[in-house]
Amino acid sequence: MKKIFALPVFLAAAGLLLASVGGSAFAADATEAAIKKAIEPRLGEGAKVESVSKTPYAGLYEVQVDGDVIYTDAKAQYLFIGRVVDSQTYRDFTKEKIQAINKVKFSDLPLDLAIKTVKGNGKRTIAVFEDPNCGYCKRFQKTLLDVDNVTVYTFQYNILAQDSIEKSRNIWCSSNPGKAWSDWMLNGKEASAAPASCNAPHEQVLALGQKMKITGTPTIIFADGSRIPGAIDTKGLEQKFATLK
């Protein structure tokens, strides 16, 4: 008799387990959907919640919105804006997630819209979104003077001032854009006025940066698709390159 009823009892137990798991998954999905519906209107016009998921810490829910991460409770009553860091290891979970969701495929970048500069063997590659009026970008250009064996693709991302567009166009339309960019960023030497017939890719680069949710300059994109917003010193840049080997 035990052999006869063993299989039905097992199947019944398995059915209850699956129903429990399925019910839990459905409840989780419903909670995440409710959070998204509640929070999205509160984030301002145009804000789009890309995903909501429960975290393993403190009962918080992670909300991904416009390439950033914020947190809330199960009732979407409170917003927690900041970083979640392990108090023992200092591992920054928020930073890791933001880096992951903002990764790009380097080979998909339209490098023909960028100014190409090669130093040494050029084996190490970065793309940088910079504005000609950006002080931190000029600082980063000085950092690059001490970095060898690198290829730099500079996207002139004109977001700081109206005359950034004109300066970028003059540089792009010069006979040697790489030198003209360096002359301006390092020495303050402006490029000659561009001929009327020359078209610089300002609109295309602007659209690209907005699509990639780049909100500040400089923003450095590495060969693995990761990014670092803001200027970085020589030591930090070399350390980052070392992790890509």
The pLDDT, as a whole number, for residue 24 is 53
Q: How far apart are the first and last CA of the chain?
A: 64
Q: What angle do CA 212, 95, 133 make, to 5 degrees?
A: 50
Same fold, 41-101 and 106-243: no
Give domain 106-243's CATH superfamily: Glutaredoxin (3.40.30.10)
Strand order in the sheet with 115-119: 115-119, 150-156, 124-130, 219-222, 227-229
pTM of the model: 0.74
Question: Residue 222: what are its φ and ψ, rounded to 5°?
Answer: -100, 170
Q: What is the mean pLDDT of residues 2-12?
A: 35
- Reported as a single tens digit per residue, the pLDDT across 153-199 is 999 999 999 999 999 999 999 999 999 999 999 999 999 999 999 99
CATH 2.60.40 fits 41-101, yes or no: no
> How do the domains of the chain map onto residue ranges?
41-101, 106-243
- For 79: left if phi > 0, alpha if psi spans -120 to 50, otherwise beta; the answer is beta
> In angstroms, rounded to a whole number, what is the distance separating the alpha carbons of residues 14 and 34?
30
